[in-house]
Amino acid sequence: MEDKRITKTKRNIKATLTDILQEMPFEKISVAEICRRGDISRITFYAHYEDKYDLAEEIFSDHVQEAYDKYHALQAENNPGNNGFIGYQKLLEALLSLYYDNYAFFSHTTSSENPYLFSAYFNRMYVSVDSYLRRHTFLKPRFSFHQTAAFICNGLFGVIDSCMADHLSEAETRAVLRGMYAVLLNSDMFEK
């Protein structure tokens, strides 16, 4: 278990990066700026992270764990019979909750605004979805696991970006994605 002071310091550093992302792209953010705004020394920063990319990777790891925990909580609460179709729906809900619970961060992980953050996050989600598809055989993809995972992740991020551009609310975006996901899961993309 991590010391409470270390946890607090890391939380401050992560929150500072998220705050700065509201004003400038990731590539323009320096460690010096994170330290200045977070009121920490460079020595403190480097005691925890190699650089800002290492910091971003830890944020992504935290988010993947958060989505994993949310998915399992949703499964336990809403899918005691472990229905595969419901499981896939709960995976979508966990990913959407992750996105909206951390909107200040994820609203700036677009391919146009922050290509590095978008790519790094996309790759994390892609690996997670690919792994999920391989483990949960209720619906077997007609295409390869990695192609299906890429299709799902690109579609998810594309629809979220499109909904943001159309100024849809969170509830509207969730409804659009739930509908699309239900159609996809019931389509010939998957063998029942």
What pLDDT digit, counting tens, does each position of 92-106 carry?
999 999 999 999 998
Mean pLDDT to the nearest integer, 103-132: 89
In DSSP notation, 77-109 reads HH-TT--HHHHHHHHHHHHHHHHHHTHHHHTT-
User: Given the structure tokens 């990913």, which residue do they identify?
Assistant: 95
* pLDDT at res. 51: 98
pLDDT at residue 2 greater than cutoff 80: no
For the chain, the average pLDDT equals 91
pLDDT of residue 192 exceeding 80, the answer is no
The whole-number average pLDDT for the span 63-81 is: 90
pLDDT tens figures, 132-144: 889 887 778 999 9
pLDDT of residue 78: 87
Q: Is 82 left (phi over 0), alpha (psi -120 to 50) or beta?
A: left
- Give the model confidence (pLDDT) of 28-55 as tens digits: 999 999 999 999 999 999 999 999 999 9
Q: Which residues, in sequence order, are bridge partners of residue 61?
A: none
Average pLDDT over residues 105-119: 88
Q: Which residues touch 101 (CB under 8 Å, ≥6 apart)?
A: 66
Residue 83 confidence (pLDDT): 81
Q: For residue 143, give both structure tokens.
A: 């295409």
Q: What's the mean pLDDT in 61-84?
A: 89
The pTM for the full model equals 0.85
Asked whether the predicted pLDDT for residue 111 surpasses 90, the reply is no
Give pLDDT, residue 190: 87
Residue 177 pLDDT level (bands cut at 50, 70, 90): very high
CB 25 within 8 A of CB 114: yes
